[in-house]
Amino acid sequence: MKLFTYLAYALTGRIYPSGAPLPERDATDAKAELYGFLLSGKVVEWPQGSGRVFGTRLDKGPELSFPYLRLILNFDTGSLMSMFNEAFEDSFLNGNQDASTNGVSSKEHRDGLRLTPTRQYILNILIGLASSDTLEPEDVIYIYMFVARSLPKYPQYIILPGSVLHRVLEGLCNYPLEELAEDCQLSVEYLLSVYHPSDLSSLVPLFHKAGFHRVLKSVFRGAKEYARLLEAYFDDLSDRDTVFDCIADILRPNRGLTKRQIADVQSVIVRHARDLAAIDSVRTAQVLKTYASDLLEPVLDGLEDGSQAQFVILRTLLEPSFQDPAADGQAAEGLEAGFRNRYVLLMCRYDPTHVADYVSLLRSSDLNLNQVLPAMEASGVVDAAVVLMARDGLVKDPMDRLVKHLGTLETALTGLLNAAAESPDMANTEEAAEDLLDAVQKYVRVGIWLCQGQTSSAGQSKTAEAQLIQPAEDSESDLALHELLWLDLIDTVVTITKNVSTAASDIDTQSAQPPVDIHKIADSLRGSVQQTFTALLAATSAENKAKPSPSAPTSRSLARHPTFLRILRAFLTRASRSSPSLSDLRSVLASIFSAYTFEETILSLANQFLDKDLFGQVSEAHALRQRGWRPRGQVCEGCRRRVWGPGAGGDIWQSWERSRELEEKSRQERRVERGGGEAARRLERGKGRAESGPAGAMDRRKDLVGDGRRNSK
């Protein structure tokens, strides 16, 4: 194997193995002698003068032409071609430029074994040997690759007839080993850069068979056969990502395609819809939206129905910011409403937690409720169904669906608790219970949202206030729609809390170590009840436009919320029918009312501190004072108490300072008295003798007086 490195060094004028340059004369002699021996057409005496013919046949048979070149070719054709590739860069092979009018020398100078060949001469020999039957197919391919790559590199020194180039092209397409495919394709690309067959389309089947996709892309692009060009991109499995760039390039507005060409390209895109989605669903949506929006529906139909690829494409179209935060949110405009229905249906399967957030941004006319609501309920996305029906003007139906779903969660939770004692897997039981509790809290919040929305739109009527004074016998029948919604929600939440708490207490009494955290379940459900009542109180407070007086007693605070009382009375009436004894609701109601008694006081106090009207009055007074205005008197018009502070007028501030000085003086005297009594007690116990003298007492008195002065300052 050192033979090839030696030849590469020597034929480029370097010393083997150091690589140092030979003197020019020695380098020329070395090249001429090596080329003479290597390219000799017959066996010769070697070394010269030895009298021994250097043969290549061990069987003593007849020698073939170019015996030494054949010998090396049979040994390692690839390494020999690599050596020639390096040797072709040397100017020694340029030959005599004046030998022909086209600048290519066809004369080779031989002096004994010395030879000054040209690149053309060497290629002619190699092509002739490749045409013979003495070389293996793999060796022939290496020769063809060398010829194909040398032709565009030295066009001024090499001229080959078209028949030879065609034979080389066909030979490269029929490579014997798969490992040579990429090298052969690269060689064909080199060759086609200088060789342009008259009927290139006839070679397309040959390129297809060889799998030369880059060659096919170049051929189709040059022939402006864009549909076949796109097919070639789909067939090229090693570089399929570039198909999107190809589509964008072909369908760009200024490309100038005919209607027939555009139709052919679109047909290819639809036919390969699944291939596009398999490569990159996001880019499929982006490219089609930009360059072929009319193909979106056919491509979606071409995908597997209900597949995740459909979901990703629709998400990219309808929520572009979800895939790319920097994307423009308006990119989804102009799409058909059917896409939104499709997207919501698929979202119920692949991302149910996002359905409610998405549908809350839509108009009621954007979706077909009859189509999407069953899918939402089947996938458990009841919150999204509630949002949709509420936006469509329906109120009672979504609450009924919500109550029904909460009942399902109650059944699941009580069933889990009843079977928890028999379940050996405590970890999974605990996790399942937490999931159900989270679902209950989630749908309670949805119900609160629904009730709050209806309450804010309904308002408070005078009739309700009149009925508060004179309640009807059947209070539930006289409730307004938004009050009935609150009643249904409260009744459902309290019922769930009562039933689940009963089941939990049964487990707590039956087993010493419950498989689930009973107290955690009870606290979570009571929290949902309190959250519901808090929202109800806040909503009914917002209805009342009259501002309560700050001096009103807390016991009358609920009287300012007639809606709250009406709903509460109806709730108690309904509860008494289902359970004549309300002892099972006592703990729930007690925690509710104890919380709201305290909360009402805090809210009333906070309302006084944060009264926006008071802030406005103070701000206005400050602005008037800057303009020179002064108060009419020294009594606050808000609380009717006397004002004090710097600038209050009269001797109010001086009187306050005098009172502070008198208080400080009396406080110092008390401290001195306490200090003297303590010293006497210490003397009686035999302590503090060092301080019993007059000086010690005087020093202590000075210290005390000094502390008092510092305090007064």
pLDDT at 542: 59
- 294 within a domain of the structure (yes/no): no
Percent helix, percent strand, percent coil in the chain, to nearest 5: 70, 0, 25
- 562 within a domain of the structure (yes/no): yes
- 649 within a domain of the structure (yes/no): no
Q: Which of 286-295, 398-407, 455-464 has the lowest mean pLDDT?
A: 455-464
- Determine the average pLDDT of the residues in 686-698: 44
- 118 within a domain of the structure (yes/no): yes
Give the contacts of 296 (CB within 8 A, at least 6 positions apart).
285, 288, 289, 313, 317, 335, 339
pLDDT at 601: 62
pLDDT at 422: 66
C-alpha pair distances (Å), 76 with each of 2, 123, 341:
12, 17, 67
Render pLDDT for 1-22 as a digit per residue (tens, 0 to 9).
999 999 999 999 999 999 999 9
- CA nearest to 621, candidates 604, 606, 643, 605: 643
Render pLDDT for 193-239 as a digit per residue (tens, 0 to 9).
999 998 888 899 999 999 999 999 999 999 999 999 999 999 998 88
Name the pLDDT band for 588 (thresholds 50, 70, 90): low
Q: Does pLDDT of 290 surpass 50?
A: yes
Give the contacts of 610 (CB within 8 A, at least 6 positions apart).
none
Which long-range contacts (C-beta less than 8 Å, at least 24 apart) are formed by 65-70? Answer: 65/41, 66/39, 66/40, 66/41, 66/125, 66/129, 67/40, 67/42, 67/43, 68/37, 68/38, 68/40, 68/43, 69/38, 69/39, 69/125, 69/129, 70/129, 70/134, 70/135
Which residue do the tokens 């602005």 mark? 623
Cβ–Cβ < 8 Å for 137, 184: no
Q: Does pLDDT of 684 surpass 60?
A: no
Backbone angles phi, psi at 650, to 5 degrees: 70, -150
Cβ–Cβ < 8 Å for 36, 28: no
Consecutive H or E run containing 546:
none
- 499 within a domain of the structure (yes/no): yes
User: Which carries the bigger pLDDT value, residue 241 or residue 355?
Assistant: 241
User: Which carries the bigger pLDDT value, residue 686 or residue 27?
Assistant: 27
DSSP string computed for 245-278: HHHHHHTSGGG---HHHHHHHHHHHHHTHHHHHH
Q: Does pLDDT of 563 surpass 70?
A: yes
Give the end of a domain, one of 128, 160, 192: 160
Cα dihedral sign for 546, 550, 553, 554?
positive
What b/e string do you get for 133-158 counting C-beta neighbours within 10 Å, with b at 16 or more?
eebeeebbbbbbbbbbbbbeebeebb
Give the end of a domain, one of 610, 639, 656: 610
- 269 within a domain of the structure (yes/no): no
What DSSP state is assigned to residue 456?
A: H
Consecutive H or E run containing 114:
strand 114-116
Mean pLDDT over all residues of the chain?
79
Radius of gyration of the chain (CA): 49
Render pLDDT for 25-76 as a digit per residue (tens, 0 to 9).
999 999 999 999 999 999 988 777 788 888 888 877 888 999 999 999 999 9
Name the pLDDT band for 482 (thresholds 50, 70, 90): confident
User: Which carries the bigger pLDDT value, residue 506 or residue 438?
Assistant: 438
Cβ–Cβ < 8 Å for 207, 232: no
- Determine the average pLDDT of the residues in 448-459: 78
- Determine the average pLDDT of the residues in 353-377: 78
Render pLDDT for 90-130 as a digit per residue (tens, 0 to 9).
999 997 644 433 333 444 556 667 899 999 999 999 999 99
Tally of domains within the chain? 2
- Determine the average pLDDT of the residues in 493-512: 75
Q: Does pLDDT of 88 surpass 90?
A: yes
pTM of the full structure: 0.65
Inter-helix orientation angle 2-10/67-87, to 10°: 60
In this structure, are strands 109-111 and 114-116 parallel, antiparallel, or unpaired?
antiparallel
Q: Does pLDDT of 332 surpass 60?
A: no
Give the contacts of 105 (CB within 8 A, at least 6 positions apart).
94, 95, 96, 97, 99, 118, 120
Q: Does pLDDT of 407 surpass 80?
A: yes
pLDDT at 387: 76
pLDDT at 180: 94
pLDDT at 333: 55
- Determine the average pLDDT of the residues in 483-487: 87
- CA nearest to 584, candidates 494, 488, 522: 494
- 503 within a domain of the structure (yes/no): yes
Q: What angle do CA 433, 438, 440 make, to 5 degrees?
A: 95
Render pLDDT for 160-184 as a digit per residue (tens, 0 to 9).
999 999 999 999 999 999 999 999 9
Give residue 400's region: left, alpha or beta (phi > 0; psi -120 to 50): alpha
The whole domain housing 416 covers 396-610
Cβ–Cβ < 8 Å for 676, 704: no
- 346 within a domain of the structure (yes/no): no
Q: Does pLDDT of 633 surpass 80?
A: no
pLDDT at 611: 62
Does a cis peptide bond (omega within 30 degrees of 0) precede residue 694? no
Residues 561 and 554: their CA atoms lie apart, in Å, by 13
Name the pLDDT band for 710 (thresholds 50, 70, 90): very low
Largest CA distance in the chain: 143
pLDDT at 607: 64
Give the end of a domain, one of 566, 592, 610: 610
